[in-house]
Amino acid sequence: MRIIMLGAPGAGKGTQAKMIAEKFGIPHISTGDIFRANIKNQTELGKKAKAYLDEGTLVPDELTCDLVVDRIANEDCAKGYILDGFPRTIPQAEALTKALAKDGGAIDYAIDVDVPDSDIVRRLSGRRVCLKCGATYHTSFNPPREEGICDSCGEALVHRDDDKPETIQKRLDVYHSQTQPLIEYYHEAGCMYKVDGTRSLEEVFASICAILE
């Protein structure tokens, strides 16, 4: 069961990926975790990735794919895995397809958690954080008892720059131009499934499980 999670930032795909991993007993793999593990363990691939990150440049598609392929070759991935945050672009998807095909493998399910931009802007722009204790709130879904004040430590809550509507829209624009084309790519491969991400966490999870089962 080789799964790719797709969806715009704030669609909730990361949360769903963790729940799926737990239910089906397969690893949830994010590129961020792979980078950190390889850099920490000072592997050859990790050293190459660190050189790019230290320069503030993007890690090339080929190297990112090598890191992912190296990770999914581990024993814990024998029954499958969920990739979260990779591939992000068509070249990355093509590199992954080519790498898996060497061993006669392919992605079994590409799942798109579909949420309209307007919902995502509302979800993310309502987020407020406490810089002192790390607690997070939402103006609509999880407001603090006193507006603008953290329930836990009494500090003022902050509206971070990356949670402001104009910043969120920029991230969505990048997603639509770079990552959304993957929906068509995996549709042509015959493994694309779409779920309505505007529903409750439990309902979205039930829809995904129905696809996988």
CATH, residue 107: 3.40.50.300
Residue 191 lies in a domain: yes
Residue 152 lies in a domain: no
Residue 160 lies in a domain: no
Residue 169 lies in a domain: no
Domain that holds residue 119: 2-126+179-212
Residue 149 lies in a domain: no
Q: Which two tokens stand for residue 33?
A: 């975790």
Please give the positions annotated as active site.
13, 88, 127, 160, 171
Residue 76 lies in a domain: yes
Residue 156 lies in a domain: no
Decide if pLDDT at 157 tops 90: yes
Asked whether the whole model's pTM tops 0.85, one would answer: no
Q: What is the pLDDT of residue 52?
A: 86
How many domains in the chain? 1
* Residue 128: band (very low, low, confident or very high) from pLDDT cuts 50, 70, 90: very high
**Contact between 61 and 93 (Cβ < 8 Å):** no
Give the rounded distance of the alpha carbon of 52 from its chain centre.
21
Average pLDDT over residues 58-80: 89
Q: What is the pLDDT of residue 191?
A: 97
Q: Which residue, 96, 114, 115, is CA-closest to 106?
A: 96
Decide if pLDDT at 81 tops 90: yes
Residue 83 lies in a domain: yes
